[in-house]
Chain A
Amino acid sequence: MTSLQNSSSPGRYPAGGRAFPHRDLISIGSLQTHEILFLLDEAEQWVELNRQPSKHTDALAGLTIINAFFENSTRTLLSFEIAGKRLGADVVNMHAAQSSVKKGETLIDTAVTLNAMRADAIVIRHGSSGAVGLIAGKVDCPVLNAGDGSHEHPTQALLDALALRHKLRERGEASSDGMTNGLAVTICGDILHSRVARSNILCLQALGATVRLCAPPALMPSGVEAMGVSVFHRFEDALAGSDVVMMLRLQNERMDGQFIPSPREYRHLYGLTQDRLALAKPQAIVMHPGPMNRGVEIESDVADMPERSIITQQVEMGVAIRMACLDVLTRKARKIPGWGEGEWV
């Protein structure tokens, strides 16, 4: 595989800073298709780098990145931390779930405080939908949304798209234009509370895929058909003809009341077993954003299928995508030619 440096796919997106004319990355919903493709293409070089024994660059040397996580996280925080460090930035993690927020400081004041410390990028996760956008409006540096409530988780959708692209490429089924036209993707699980589902619906559709959602009615958001998806309640119906099956976990921490009778009953209707997977297309790909609840939404033997499951590749692509996002969003501050002040706006 060749390295896809900056000139990877000329013509696919505008030159220089026009390729990604956003200060922040808050939502997939605010991106154009060519901007999504740009981030995916940019990530390819970091996939390559991350597979080398020496994974370090100095691209972001001297920059300070703050990971402000107002909600507990292990894998996303670690992924962003590794991404920042491999790019040479100074990375600081703020576990806001146990900090001054508990002492009554408002979110805006916390944002202003972070801003005063002159971060060059802030990565934020917050439990309230819209909170990351709210902070972005109060700070002077790029803000990356690492998940806001049940709204969006844009880097997750991007890494999923990249993982899918790599698997298709490995099978010789990837399209040269980077799109996934005609791919049928089933997302099954707690759609109601899932920011991963919302970002993935938008991202997969932008790349030309069709999206099916499957959940019991209580976990299916009302009016979601308006987003151009088809809605299923019987998992078997959704699986028929699917190229990709993306499983989501039950977000018990966001549930206000009882939404399903029991995990056991949920598994009975919605657990992804070998038998159910056989209803999808013959080589259908299995995905899961993690953390998995083995034996609930997915059986271990499905999660670990070497040719079908790309769950570990998703994690690998996560670091590359986050490196790409940090790199692209800090180009203006780093005065990269074509990305500077007044060069394109």
Chain B
Amino acid sequence: MKQQTPIAITGGRLVTPEGIVEGALRLEDGRIASVGGEAKDGDDVVDAAGQLVTPGLVDLGVFAIDKPAFHFGGITRAALMPDQSPPLDFPSRVRFAAQSGKPDFWVHPLAGATVGLEGAQLAEIAMMRDAGARAIATGRSWIADSGVMLRLLQYAAMLDMVVVTHCEDSALAGKAVATSGEIATRLGLPSAPAVAEELAVARDIALAELVGARLHLRQVTTASALELVRAAKARGVAVTAGVTPAHFMLSDLALAEFRTFARLSPPLRSEEDRQAVIAAVGDGTIDVIASGHDPRGPEDKRLPFVDAAPGMAGAETLLAMVLTLVRDGVIGMERAFDLVARNPATLLGVEAGLLAEGAEADIALVDPERPWVVDSRKMAAQAGNTPFDGQPSQGRVTALWKGGVAIPL
């Protein structure tokens, strides 16, 4: 589906990387034609009525293609984790996944780093790149073998692809489902110390620095690991860090009553770590906020906590949770959209994620104040496993375009 007529979105506040500007946003032939000018004769004019006009969100690291949930959340592109069944460790599977959302949603597959995601044998990464993979990912788990990780990073550096890694030392994390501390102790849950993340981050940064590879730590959730990222960035290592809203909105207190919707990987952390994540978003240590969208039905979640699958359906709540950081003064509005659109697009090397002439016309209209209540029973997602169930929120997407074509919401 192609954009037929030019569109001018007028009367809105355009969220550009440089700040909020007034004026019209013109979309032509699926691209952004101008930012902040006037509408032209023959344009289909859309009145934004004072709402925000933003780039469509680019969600780095989701586990399912769940279009209704993504569209609800203003997400127009997502990088799909290789943890599929069968895994994305083979060129033809990557090619299929890359086409699976079109035309109204673009999927950017992440190539599985190792065969079967088992962390032992490198997969055919260059062939997967040529089949449409935009980056490489280790999957849900860390590559425990440092030799394999070194060779992976060398190979990725040669191909100039980012390696997206999960950061938990697997020997230390073991079968843990919670972070060691008072809550895990009271509940009697198997737990691992938060330092499991610091260990993994330290090794991966050291190896990436050694070979000059680009490394993206998909979720950094502890104060000590964030400190390592901060220091690595200061000395010029090509490392970026991400997080999901769960780790800046919730601490391990959310595990009370054995709520399996709060069973996440990595597990929820202490309140001190939660505060450190907020600070790291504020000071630029964290580059990406993603949904980690992983819809899980009752067969995976209505189980004893230890047996429940980790993961949350996060696509619908991503934007509203990020906007809490704007309201709290942690970040400005333009930085919010850097975190959820521009930075992930840059990492993936796609010309999207920002309002700039020539960029893909993936556009959202956002009413940042509109109140709503998260309700796990009424989700657009394939499953309602949100840890934010019942939480009053603000900020909703009211209109969405992919490549200049309106998507009915």
Interface residues of A (CB under 8 A from B): 29, 106-108, 126, 128-131, 133-134, 148-152, 195, 198, 221-224, 226-227, 256-257
Contact = CB atoms under 8 A, between A and B. Distances in A.
B305 A130 contact: yes
B187 A227 contact: no
Given A106-B299, A222-B191, A128 B306 contact: yes
19 contacts: A106-B303, A128-B307, A129-B188, A129-B189, A130-B187, A130-B257, A134-B258, A134-B302, A149-B189, A150-B188, A221-B180, A221-B184, A222-B185, A222-B193, A223-B184, A223-B185, A227-B182, A227-B186, A257-B174
Contact of B182 (A107, A148, A223, A257): A223
Nearest to B270: A223
Contact of A108 (B191, B302, B306): B302
Nearest to A197: B188
Contacts of A130: 187, 257-258, 304-306
Nearest to B307: A128
Contacts of B182: 223-224, 226-227
A339 to B, nearest CB: 27
A107 B175 contact: no
B190 interface: yes
B181 A222 contact: yes
Interface in B234-259: 257-258
Contacts of B257: 130, 133
Interface residues of B, number: 25
Contact of A256 (B190, B298, B302): B190
B303 A222 contact: no
Interface string B142-180: 000000000000000000000000000000001100001
A227 B305 CA distance: 22
Nearest to A194: B188
B304 A128 contact: yes
A198 B305 CA distance: 18
Interface string B253-290: 00001100000000000000000000000000000000
A128 B305 CA distance: 8
Contacts of B190: 150, 256
Contacts of A152: 188
Contacts of A151: 187-189
Given A128-B305, A133-B257, A222-B181, A150 B189 contact: yes
Contact of A131 (B186, B193, B299, B304): B304
A239 to B, nearest CB: 23
A134 B191 CA distance: 20
Given A134-B304, A149-B304, A221-B180, 11 more contacts: A106-B303, A129-B188, A129-B189, A129-B258, A149-B189, A150-B188, A222-B181, A223-B183, A223-B184, A226-B185, A256-B190
A257 B170 CA distance: 13
A126 B191 CA distance: 19
Nearest to B171: A257
B185 A224 contact: yes
Return the 8 tightest CB-CB contacts between A and B, nearest first: A130-B258, A150-B188, A128-B304, A151-B188, A222-B180, A131-B304, A221-B185, A223-B182
A106 B309 CA distance: 14
A128 B260 CA distance: 13
A215 to B, nearest CB: 13
Contacts of A107: 303-304
A126 B188 CA distance: 13
Contacts of A221: 180, 184-185
A309 B304 CA distance: 37
Contacts of B181: 222-223
B180 A223 contact: yes
Contacts of A148: 188
Nearest to A225: B182
A44 B257 CA distance: 32
Which among A130, A131, A198 has the highest number of chain B CB atoms within 10 Å? A130
Nearest to B177: A129
A75 B180 CA distance: 32
Contacts of A256: 174-175, 190
Contacts of B188: 129, 148-152, 195, 198
Nearest to B259: A130
Contacts of B299: 106
A129 B304 contact: yes
A2 to B, nearest CB: 39
A222 B252 CA distance: 14
A283 to B, nearest CB: 32
Interface in B177-221: 180-191, 193
A107 B187 CA distance: 19
Contacts of A29: 186
Contacts of A195: 188
B205 to A, nearest CB: 26
Contacts of A129: 187-189, 258, 304-306
Interface in B29-87: none
Contact of A149 (B175, B298, B302, B306): B306
Nearest to A224: B185
Contacts of B305: 128-130
- With a 10 A CB-CB cut-off, give which of A133, A134, A198, A226 has the most chain B CB atoms: A134
A53 to B, nearest CB: 41
A105 B302 CA distance: 13
B194 to A, nearest CB: 10
A307 B222 CA distance: 52
A152 B187 CA distance: 8
Given A106-B303, A108-B302, A128-B304, A133 B258 contact: yes
A81 B401 CA distance: 66
Contacts of B303: 106-108, 134
Contacts of B189: 129, 149-151
Contacts of B180: 221-223
Contacts of A223: 180-185
A226 B302 CA distance: 30
